[in-house]
Amino acid sequence: MAAHCAGGIRRGAESERSLDSSQQNQWKKAAAEAAAKLVEDGMIVGLGTGSTATYFVNALAKRVAHEHLHISGIPTSQKTAALARSLKIPLSTFAAHTQIDLTVDGADEVERGTLYLIKGHGGALLREKIVAAASKRMAIVVDETKLVDRLSGTFVIDGKNVSISPSIGIALFHADVTSAEMILEQADLAMYRAKAAGRKCYRWYAAGPAAAQAGRT
Integer Rg of the chain from CA: 18
How do residues 179-190 score in pLDDT, each as one tens digit?
A: 877 887 888 888
Q: Are residues 140 and 178 in the same domain?
A: no
Predicted confidence at residue 202, as pLDDT, reads 80
Instruction: State how many domains the chain has.
Output: 2
Q: Are residues 46 and 146 in the same domain?
A: yes
Domain finish residue from 163, 179, 196: 163
pTM of the full structure? 0.65
Q: Are residues 124 and 175 in the same domain?
A: no
Specify which residues 170 forms β-bridges with.
204
Determine the Cα–Cα distance for residues 155 and 159; give it in Å rounded to an integer: 9
Q: Are residues 119 and 34 in the same domain?
A: yes
Q: Are residues 20 and 38 in the same domain?
A: yes
Q: Which positions are catalytic?
A: 128
Domain finish residue from 127, 142, 163: 163
Q: Are residues 51 and 120 in the same domain?
A: yes
Predicted confidence at residue 123, as pLDDT, reads 54
Q: Are residues 21 and 104 in the same domain?
A: yes
Determine the Cα–Cα distance for residues 25 and 148; give it in Å rounded to an integer: 19
How do residues 120-170 score in pLDDT, each as one tens digit?
A: 655 556 788 889 889 999 999 888 888 888 876 566 667 777 666 667 778
Residues lower than pLDDT 50 in the chain: 1-18, 209-213, 216-217
Q: Are residues 63 and 108 in the same domain?
A: yes
Q: Are 204 and 211 in contact (CB under 8 A)?
A: yes
Instruction: Give the range of the structural domain holding residue 87, as residue numbers without chain letter.
Output: 2-163
Domain finish residue from 143, 163, 183: 163
In CATH, what number is assigned to the domain containing residue 10?
Answer: 3.40.50.1360
Spell out the residues 6+ positions from residue 90 whose beta carbon is closer than 8 angstroms to its own.
Answer: 71, 72, 73
Q: Are residues 125 and 182 in the same domain?
A: no
Nearest CA to 61 out of 83, 34, 78, 44 is that of: 83
Q: Are residues 195 and 119 in the same domain?
A: no
Q: Are residues 26 and 130 in the same domain?
A: yes
Q: Are residues 158 and 171 in the same domain?
A: no
